[in-house]
Amino acid sequence: MRAVVQRVSRASVTVDGAVVGQIERGLLVLVGAAEGDAVADADALARKVAGLRVFPDADGKMNLDVQQVGGAVLAVSQFTLLGDCRKGRRPSFVGAARPEVASPLFDRYVEATRALGLRCETGIFQADMKVELLNDGPVTLLIDTGKLF
């Protein structure tokens, strides 16, 4: 699975004009599932994100994780993270998991995040979502459970 993780002061996701998920301080996590991903990838991604030490301690060093600062997670499914732009100008999404595979994996990521004791809000899978955020830092990280980067 692949994720873009952003440290935020606040973030929200809106569908059809209604806010369906929002957080204050925490992490906005855009999540994409790739062909071949499994439950173990969703669990590993949840552990990795929850343990990221990207919040400042009393000395201003990034030493604290989201739970230590009382933050939350806003998880948004995003298959376009698997877009391959190496050839031509139109991205290819053949590496993205099909919706019937990706949806349960996204749900598992959310469940695993919550099982780690974090509040986790979400968008709506396959909906046309509007994501709004205030990136704090800015801090933006890329994670791939296949360790492609």
Q: Is 80 a catalytic residue?
A: yes
d(CA 7, CA 134): 9
Query: Which tokens go with 59?
Result: 């000395």
- The secondary structure element, H or E, covering residue 54 is none
Q: Is 78 a catalytic residue?
A: yes
Out of 68, 80, 126, 140, the active site residue is 80
Judge contact between 49 and 29, C-beta under 8 A. Answer: yes
Spatial CA neighbour of 109 closest among 100, 64, 118: 118
Out of 6, 55, 78, 106, the active site residue is 78
d(CA 16, CA 32): 22
> How big is the chain, counted in residues?
149
Q: Is 79 a catalytic residue?
A: yes
Out of 6, 79, 106, 113, the active site residue is 79
Burial (CB count <10 Å: 0-12, 13-18, 19+), residue 111: middle
Catalytic residues: 78-80
